[in-house]
A = this chain, B = another copy of it.
């Protein structure tokens, strides 16, 4: 590697550092935020659980409600249930809706899950809540988006919320602080590879 390349690299990195430092200085608000992970790609839920352990690493308490999912216990649930003092875990417990095929029952279960969600949203001791697959419950209108948004906005000011699932409604995107769309570039499943423990569930 020539000295010339190293010097140019250094100059470029110095400019980059100056820009980043200025942005960091300007971004000084500390407040609870709403994060939405949507899109058809992978990583929406796993990112939510990654954020859960991130928060736990900083000594924050975490609450999780799993909407839709729950008939099959996932690896993250098995793992996180080992720490009941740090993370409180609730699953709607009915599996995906195409397994149950009973809309009234799904609605009833979703409403019960939202009651638990509201208990987390009322508790300032919970630093981060994860509402996994809530977007699906909203998409199928198992829950009313206006009710959900009102409850979200009434939470303690320092509490963070992560909401996952494809098809986030526009009203939710509107009030969210950070929204990421996970898009599929390639998926192993299409190449005939099964959903495997450790990567898919």
Contacts and interface: CB of A to CB of B under 8 A. Distances in A.
Nearest to A194: B27
Contacts of A44: 43
Interface string A20-52: 100110111111010111110111111111111
Given A47-B43, A185-B180, A195 B24 contact: yes
A57 interface: yes
Contact of A75 (B41, B56, B194): B56
A76 B104 contact: no
B195 A188 contact: no
Contacts of A26: 192
Given A13-B98, A14-B101, A103-B9, A160 B199 contact: yes
A47 B132 CA distance: 13
Nearest to A103: B9
A88 to B, nearest CB: 16
Interface size class of A (residues with CB under 8 A): 35 or more
A36 to B, nearest CB: 8
Interface stretch (A113-121, A149-157, A170-178): A170-178
B60 A198 contact: yes
Contact of A43 (B182, B193, B199): B182
Given A24-B195, A27-B189, A188-B178, A49 B41 contact: no
The 6 closest A-B pairs by CB, nearest first: A46-B50, A57-B75, A57-B79, A43-B47, A57-B78, A54-B75
Interface of A: 1, 5-6, 9-10, 13-14, 16-17, 20, 23-24, 26-31, 33, 35-39, 41-58, 60, 74-80, 97-99, 101-104, 107, 127-128, 160, 173, 176-189, 191-199, 201
